[in-house]
């Protein structure tokens, strides 16, 4: 089965740029989606189809996907961005797969 690998944690200084990676075999050939989850809440979609932002998500959030790595980039990180972030793709078109999640800390 297909596996998505994320770092357990990423730290970023306030106002700097955070990058969260999601590794998978030839992930660049798949669409990758990203979710933010705050404690006690359901996940929220922040990037879909690699690079697209849903309405209501700030332009500070962007995504890229190539080769074996997809990346979520958060520019000008704010305290409110602290959360767990998950990547998601589809395995053989029949089952969705999620990464294990990355805890973002804003220092």
Chain residues binding other proteins by CB under 8 A are 1, 30-31, 33, 35, 42-45, 48-49, 54, 86, 88, 90, 93-101
In whole angstroms, the minimum distance from the beta carbon of 104 to other proteins comes to 14
Provide the pairing of β-strand 83-91 with 102-106.
antiparallel
Measured from the CB of residue 1, what is the shortest distance to other proteins in angstroms? 7
How far apart are CB 89 and other proteins at their closest, in Å? 8
What's the rounded Cα separation, in Å, for the pair 107 and 92?
Answer: 39
- Phi, psi (5° rounding) for residue 46? -115, -25
76 or 98: CB nearest other proteins: 98
Dihedral sign computed on CA atoms, order 65, 106, 16, 47: positive
Q: Quote the CA–CA distance of 77 and 82 in Å, as a whole number.
A: 9
């Amino acid at each position: 089965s297909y596996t998505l690998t994320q770092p357990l944690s990423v730290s970023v200084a306030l106002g700097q740029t955070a990058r969260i990676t999601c590794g998978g075999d030839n992930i660049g050939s798949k669409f990758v989606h990203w979710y933010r989850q705050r404690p006690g809440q359901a996940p929220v979609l922040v990037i879909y189809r690699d690079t697209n932002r849903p309405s209501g998500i700030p332009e500070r959030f962007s995504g890229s996907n190539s080769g074996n790595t997809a990346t979520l980039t958060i520019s000008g990180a704010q305290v409110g961005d602290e959360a767990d972030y998950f990547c998601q793709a589809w395995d053989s078109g029949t089952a969705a797969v999620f990464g294990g999640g990355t805890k973002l800390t804003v220092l």
